Amino acid sequence: NSKVIQTPRYLVKGQGQKAKMRCIPEKGHPVVFWYQQNKNNEFKFLINFQNQEVLQQIDMTEKRFSAECPSNSPCSLEIQSSEAGDSALYLCASRQGANTGQLYFGEGSKLTVL
Amino acid sequence: QQQVRQSPQSLTVWEGETAILNCSYENSAFDYFPWYQQFPGEGPALLISILSVSNKKEDGRFTIFFNKREKKLSLHIADSQPGDSATYFCAARAGGSNAKLTFGKGTKLSVKS
């Protein structure tokens, strides 16, 4: 059973609407990753954080995607203006600090953009 | 350019057989290779992983064989069970433990009883 909690499990949005997903990482895991998994099983790395700081992110040139991991609050990923191509499973994963590289994923938030 | 490739795309084995899932990569800098198991409607679950300094890793019925020279690895699932039916993803990482994972497109395994 996953200890990374993602909400909501499903969301349906119209084109142009905002979509927001949340993630509570596993307790004691300061590093959080967001991935997008499309219907062809392609994983796309979006962004990762260590505590509240961004470590690496893709070039979100469209500026439609934003993410944060505030202190004492769930992490979040928001799409400002949803497009049909954004329909996918959005996966949050967390990792312990130190040298372990093992990522543990949540169940995901499945976004459908109509 | 796909950096991590998996084959076959789908595989069917009988219960009790050994399933062999293949993975190859292009980036010589990859040094950590986890395999994930994903059931429909769920997130990927870490199954087993290997570092590039090793050529074999076992965990119960699951074994990774790694060939650094050929940039290939394989996941062997011994005594396959119907409950092993899932999609298996090979992933790879370069650049330290905070670096992103690069995933293959998966192998869908069906185990028939």
CB B44 within 8 A of CB B38: yes
Q: Are A75 and A67 in contact (CB under 8 A)?
A: yes
Residue A2 to residues A24, B48, B64, Cα–Cα distance (Å): 11, 16, 23
Q: Tens of pLDDT along A61-106?
A: 457 899 999 988 999 999 999 999 999 999 999 988 655 668 899 9
For residues B3-19, one letter each, b for 16 or more C-beta atoms within 10 angstroms of the residue's C-beta and e for the rest, the string is ebebeeeebebeeeeeb
Question: Is B106:B38 a contact under the CB 8 Å cutoff?
Answer: yes
CB contact under 8 A, A104 and B105: no
The CATH class for the domain spanning A5-96+105-113 reads mainly beta
What's residue A61's pLDDT? 46
> B108 and B89 in contact (C-beta within 8 Å)?
no
From residue A101, alpha-carbon distances to A29, A37, A89, A108 in Å are 11, 20, 23, 20
Greater model confidence, B11 or A63? B11
Interface residue ranges in chain A relative to chain B, Cβ cutoff 8 Å: 2, 4, 6, 31, 33, 40-43, 45, 48, 50, 55-56, 91, 95, 99-108
Average pLDDT score, chain A: 90
**Hey, are the CB atoms on A105 and B36 less than 8 Å from each other?**
yes
Pairwise pLDDT comparison (B10 vs B99), residue with the higher score:
B10
Q: Which residues of A touch B97 (CB under 8 A)?
A: 95, 99-101
**What is the CATH T-level fold of the domain B4-112, as seen in this structure?**
Immunoglobulin-like (2.60.40)
Q: Report chain B's mean pLDDT, rounded to a whole number.
A: 95
Give percent of chain A above pLDDT 70: 91
Q: Do B32 and A105 touch (CB under 8 A)?
A: no
Give the DSSP letter string of B6-34.
EE-SEEEEETTSPEEEEEEE--TT--EEE
Q: Which of B47, B97, B91, B96 is nearest to B73 (CA)?
A: B91
Domain ranges for chain A: 5-96+105-113
